[in-house]
Structure 1
Amino acid sequence: MSAISGVNSAALLILQQTNSTSSIKDDKSASDNLVAVANGVGEKIGMSAQPGQAQSRISEAMFSVDNVNINKMKLELIERAGQKLGFDKSDFDSEADFARQMRKQVITMHASGADQKIAEIEKELGLDKLGISLLDVVSSARNPDLDDAVTQALKEREGAKNKEEAEKAEKERDALPPSSLAPDEIGLYGAANN
């Protein structure tokens, strides 16, 4: 009997503490509280503002596993192109100098008839599969934030890749035998053992 009454006493104490904290009075009127809650700035205990649509999209973009950072891929491609042309980005004072020297090198190579060497570099970097040229990449280096041919090619490739992966995963799910849920010995639902 004493164990049960001890549990009841503990439960009663918890409920009393909860009620005492939730009954804190403010000098605000009920309409002020309603407006505050409607605007997401309610300051009552136990209230928290829900993220808005913009905040949810930002969070999804930052933390989603499916997120592909095209701009990062573009910058890596530009840096790899510079390395193939014999330039290291860290050797330059600014990215503008790096881009200028790369562009100058590609134009000089075209003028001297080194189109075979340019084609080899494009193939090594996978530019032929993207449908863009080395000159497109080095031109993109001048302003990597632009939505240019390189960005569009990367977006198209990643969109196709994500679509293929989604289709493959869906086919794998469809190939699995249908599972049914059933309660086990203690009443928890899980996959039925056939």
Structure 2
Amino acid sequence: MTGRARGVVHRLAAGCEIVARQRSEALATWVRAGRRDDLDGGRAALGPVVRVLLLGIAAYVTLSVLRAVPWLLWLITAAWLRAAWRATRAPADDVDEPLDNMPAGPDVTAVLALLAEVFGDADRVHLSTVLAHLQEQGQVAGWKVADLRARLESLGVPVQPKVKVRGVPTRGIVRADLDDHFPGWEACASPTEVDAA
């Protein structure tokens, strides 16, 4: 698989995770909003129960329609993939083009500069640390770790699920992985503002 194809696959996979999380959080918020604060006991929880039942009915109707008209799955799949692609698109992106794993574009160079700054002398760093550093500089306001992870993976930056820093394992980046994917990355990473990280 070429670097470009790998970048597309990573971007779609990360985007699918973001879209699934956003949809599930939106549904959970909608269900919780049905709870009545002016009532006590079981009556207060009646609203969320009704909303869960409505979701079940909607799922049943959707499955029935898809069994009757299976070609609709193609449209749903296309819409989902489009949403996944757009979910990993940084606000500064103007085109929907897959990015190579090579540190040739300004986005990748800016990200490598940021990572060189955040890493310092360490050999590993958590994504939450990178995100906090960006937000202290007034960038990527409102982003979560999953958003940053999706953006990094779309640029070909390897993210590991369990990187241990000070005894805490969570998503992060290891310097050795960057050395493998972007040989000489620290030398080419010049200090620049990371708008598209």
Question: Does TM-score exceed 0.5, indicating one fold?
Answer: no
TM-score, structure 2 as length reference: 0.25
Greater Rg, structure 1 or structure 2?
A: 1
TM-score, structure 1 as length reference: 0.25
Structure with greater proportional strand content: 2
